[in-house]
Amino acid sequence: MIREQMRAAEKVKALEWRDNALYLLDQRLLPQQEFWQRYETAADVAQAIREMRVRGAPAIGVAAAFAMVLAAQQHVANHVSDLSAALEADFSLLAESRPTAVNLFWALQAMRDCLATALQTEQPLKALEAQALSIFNDDRNANLRTAELGLQLIRETGSAPQHVMTHCNAGALATAGFGTALGVIRAAYLDGLVRCVHVNETRPWLQGARLTAWELAGEGIPCALNVDAAAGHLMQQGMISWIIVGADRITANGDVANKIGTYQLAVLARYHQIKCMVVAPSSTIDMQLASGAQIPIEERTGEEILFVGQQRVAAEVDALNPVFDVTPAALIDVIVTERGVVNQPDAQKMRALMQS
Ligand code: MRU
Q: Consecutive 10-residue runs of the chain (356 residues): their mean pLDDT?
A: 80 96 98 98 98 98 98 97 96 98 98 95 95 98 97 94 97 97 97 97 98 97 98 96 98 98 98 98 98 98 95 97 98 98 98 97
Ligand 1 atom nearest 246 alpha carbon: 13
CA of 84 to the centre of ligand 1 (A): 31
- How far apart CA 71 and CA 89 sit, in angstroms, is 10
pLDDT at 1: 63
Question: pLDDT value at position 5?
Answer: 85
At 4 the pLDDT is: 84
Ligand 1 centroid from CA 247, angstroms: 7
**Distance separating alpha carbons of residues 291 and 324, to the nearest angstrom:** 15
255 tagged catalytic: no
Distance 271 CA to ligand 1 centre (A): 25
pLDDT for 10 equals 83
**Closest ligand 1 atom to 179 CA:** 15
26-42: per-residue pLDDT in tens?
A: 999 999 999 999 999 99
The 10 Å CB-count burial string (b at 16+, else e) for 199-214 is bbbbbbbbbbbbbbbb
Which residue, judged by its Cα, is nearest atom 6 of ligand 1?
Answer: 56
Residue 88 alpha carbon to ligand 1 centre in Å: 27
pLDDT digits (tens, 9 = 90+) for 264-314: 999 999 999 999 999 999 999 999 999 999 999 999 999 999 999 899 999
- Marked catalytic residue, from 138, 248, 255, 325: 248
Residue 203 alpha carbon to ligand 1 centre in Å: 13
Instruction: Give all strands of the β-sheet with 162-166 in edge-to-edge order.
Output: 223-226, 194-200, 162-166, 242-245, 275-279, 334-337, 340-343
> What is the per-residue pLDDT for 350?
98
- The set of protein residues with a Cβ atom below 6 angstroms from ligand 1 is 55-58, 101, 168, 170, 174-175, 180, 207, 246-248, 258-259, 323
Q: Model-level pTM greater than 0.95? A: yes
> From the alpha carbon of 171, which atom of ligand 1 is closest?
15
Residues 150 and 183: beta-carbon distance below 8 Å: yes
Whether the Cβ atoms of residue 166 and residue 207 lie closer than 8 Å to each other: no
| Residue of 15, 106, 258, 285 to test ligand 1 pocket, by largest number of atoms within 8 Å of CB | 258
Q: Which residue's CA is the nearest one to ligand 1's atom 15? A: 170
